[in-house]
Amino acid sequence: MDSISPNRRFWNRISSAYQREHDPQIGATPRLWGTYAIPDAHLNALGDVTGKRVLELGCGAGQWSRALAAEGATVVGLDLSEAQLAAAAHAMGAARYPLVQGAAEHLPFAAESFDVVFCDYGGLSWAPGHLAVPQAARVLRRGGRLVFNAASPWFEACYDEAGGRATTTLHQDYFGLDTIAEDQGAVSYQLTYGDWIRVLRGAGLVIDDLIEPRPEPGTVNGYNQTDPPDWAHRWPAEMLWVTHKPTD
């Protein structure tokens, strides 16, 4: 089933509450990756984007996009939800950038339009990888980079749905993760590590790195404070793929 409509409705419904709860963390300083707010300066995943054409795939309220626009990138923020885009428009600073409503599954851009496509829990978490990755690869110029952060299969497999927290017990089948039922009929997606590699390589991308962000002991998951504090220090809660489209 197509998840575009339910996911759009879901994000429209939760946008205000989500931004109230999470913007103070993810908008606090520029370039923070993921639920543990690890600076890109520590992970070196995105690097310098000055002067580059950058697409954020599922930009939400634009915490990343507005930071990169202020650094001198030519940014486009794409999102499925008009409520999230309204939050991005509201929060836009002096460095203006265009916002586009669309789905990661069908990007409304010509081939080879961007130097960098990236997201942090965006379109590559909320659209099927086998659809979104080839679209991202299509709109990248040769030599361009796709960089994205998402929850890891480890995290999903150890997540106790009933308790609403990560645990040290396997709760879901690794090979059965695939589509993950979220609240209110929304759906997010996960692949096995092997399938991620096959989808990325199948779209013609070269994998440069798989960064496993590791917060310091005791760092709280800003999205779920009931998670055991050392969980992500002991196991990789997220996966940050760094890839590029080859030049020939």
Binding positions for ligand SAM, rule: CB under 6 A: 4, 7, 11, 26, 58, 60, 64, 79-81, 84, 103-105, 120-123, 126-127
Nearer to ligand SAM by Cβ, of 86 and 95: the residue is: 86
Provide the minimum distance between the beta carbon of 169 and ligand SAM in the complex, in angstroms, as a whole number: 26
Cα(146)–Cα(161) distance, integer angstroms: 31
By beta-carbon proximity to ligand SAM, the closer residue of 7 and 243 is: 7
In contact, 216 and 233? CB cutoff 8 Å? yes
Residue 123 vs 215, nearer CB to ligand SAM = 123
For residue 126, what are the contacts with CB-CB under 8 A and spacing of at least 6? Answer: 3, 7, 58, 80, 104, 186, 187, 188, 189
CB 211 within 8 A of CB 242: yes
Nearest residue (CB) to ligand SAM, 89 versus 206: 89
* Nearest-approach distance from CB 121 to ligand SAM, in angstroms: 4
Which CB atom, from 82 or from 212, has the smaller least distance to ligand SAM?
82
In three-state secondary structure terms, 20 is helix
- What minimum distance in Å lies between the beta carbon of 126 and ligand SAM? 3
Least Å from the CB of residue 189 to ligand SAM: 9
Q: Are strands 99-101 and 74-79 parallel, antiparallel or unpaired?
A: parallel
- Indicate the SS3 state at residue 184: helix
Which CB sits closer to ligand SAM, 119 or 157? 119
Tell me the residue number closest to ligand SAM, measured at CB. 60
Work out the widest C-alpha separation in the chain, in whole angstroms.
49
Closest approach of ligand SAM to the CB of residue 127, in Å: 4
Q: DSSP string of 118-182?
A: EEESSHHHHS-HHHHHHHHHHHEEEEEEEEEEEE-HHHHHHEETTTTEE-SS--S-GGG-SEEE-
In the complex, least distance from residue 223 CB atom to ligand SAM, rounded to whole angstroms: 9
Residues 59-81 as b/e (b if ≥16 CB within 10 A, e otherwise) read bbbbbbbbbbbebebbbbbbbbb
Nearest approach in angstroms of CB 229 to ligand SAM is 21
Query: For ligand SAM, which is the closer residue by CB, 143 or 164?
Result: 164
